[in-house]
Amino acid sequence: MRWRMLALLFFARIALGFQFQTAVSVGDDLVTSFGIDYSDVGFLIGLFMLPGLFLALPAGMSGRFASDRVLAFVGLSALALGGLLSGFGSGPMMIGLGRLVAGAGFLLSTLYFTKMIADWFEGREISTAMSILVMSWPFGIAMGQVGHAYLADLQDWRLPFVVASLYCAAAAAGVLLLYRAPSGKPAVSRGSSSRLSGREWQLILLAGTAWGVFNAGYVAYLSFAPLMLEELGHAPLQAAALVSIASWIMIFSGAVCGQIVDRFNHRDLVLIVCMTGAVASLWLVGLSGKGLAASLLFGLVGMAPAGVIMALSGAAVAPARRAFGMGIFFTVYYAIMAAGPPLSGWIYERASTAGASLAFGMCMFALVVPAALMFRLVRLNGRENAPKEDNG
């Protein structure tokens, strides 16, 4: 049953990446249609993450009053509504409003998807399960990288938002009708869930930081690797297709990486190797003729440990306080993600080359390693209270 629930949530969570990618894929069209610049496009991308700064904690506490299934349904429905608002918007303000509504839905659904998997796989193959779940995000983004560009060329920039919203609505219906909570766990937890120990606070903040900078680096790659390839002479569709190769590959490399950590541990060594690969990938993008090699390296190595990093959130806080801990985790994540895209867009505008923004992405990936090593140090300092599933 747990693998069936994982499959359901994987296909539902594809909607998150598919909806997020809309503004990234049609950025050039928005610049042309509304006379905005790329820092404004970066702001619209970042608005998707902004609600998490304010809603992550309330979302985590809402698990005391409604089931995970209902809250995930509400989140996916908000993603659908937000996409429609953007798609039928008459200007940047309405598009931005739609991004905010969709972002609120993204927060709610991704928080409870993560908790659902942590509940189903607690103490057994958690890195593998999280890796598979997390790879639904790049799967959706890869669909959008190629599909949104095709849809925009077929009609205009509005169609990708509408199609992504239809997928979100279908995913919402699927979760509401088909998801079941694991036996032995209440559908709604009404116990105390907000009193974290000092050590749990340290762990969840470090886990959120690692996840935030990892994703900030990923968004820098998604946003500026195509522009870098265009600077080197590739056509826009060709550049998008090259970059999307990494997103397809990481779907499989992530599951393999999770299995390696679950079976052999050595989480920190895996992260050091993979983040070195991520930095090297972004550097290779800027070299003529290396776009395919960069995308292959990024997909096979650089993004492989996404689920391993996400699994830190499950190891940081005791199960009774997991929903609230997830709220803290995603607050940190969203704070970083709300700042990252506008900053990388600002860097691009000032430097007039996508290479500068890719260098920013390299720095983000490099910061994953010290955050993970500090997480391990805090765990070791309180080893007697550490959950058994630590993969350090």
pLDDT at 246 over 70: yes
CA distance 153 to 146: 11
Token couple for 75: 């989140």
Please list, residue by residue across 209-229, b when 16 or more beta carbons sit within 10 angstroms of its beta carbon and e when fewer do: bbbbbbbbbbbbbbbbbbbbb
Give the pLDDT confidence score for residue 186 in this predicted structure: 57
Give the pLDDT confidence score for residue 185 in this predicted structure: 63
pLDDT at 260 over 70: yes
Give the pLDDT confidence score for residue 263 in this predicted structure: 84
Give the pLDDT confidence score for residue 386 in this predicted structure: 45
Mean pLDDT score of the chain: 87
Please report the sign of the dihedral spanned by the C-alpha atoms of residue 108, residue 109, residue 110, residue 112. positive
What pTM value is reported for the model? 0.77
CA distance 207 to 312: 6
Encode pLDDT of 119-130 as tens digits. Answer: 888 777 888 888
Q: Domains plus CATH for the chain?
A: 2-178+193-383 (1.20.1250.20)
Cα radius of gyration (the chain): 20
The answer to whether the CB of 72 falls within 8 A of the CB of 112 is yes
pLDDT band at 214 (very low <50, low <70, confident <90, very high): very high
pLDDT at 176 over 60: yes
Q: Which of 140, 349, 318, 95 is nearest to 227 (CA)?
A: 349
Please state, for a pLDDT cut of 90, what percent of the chain lies above it: 40
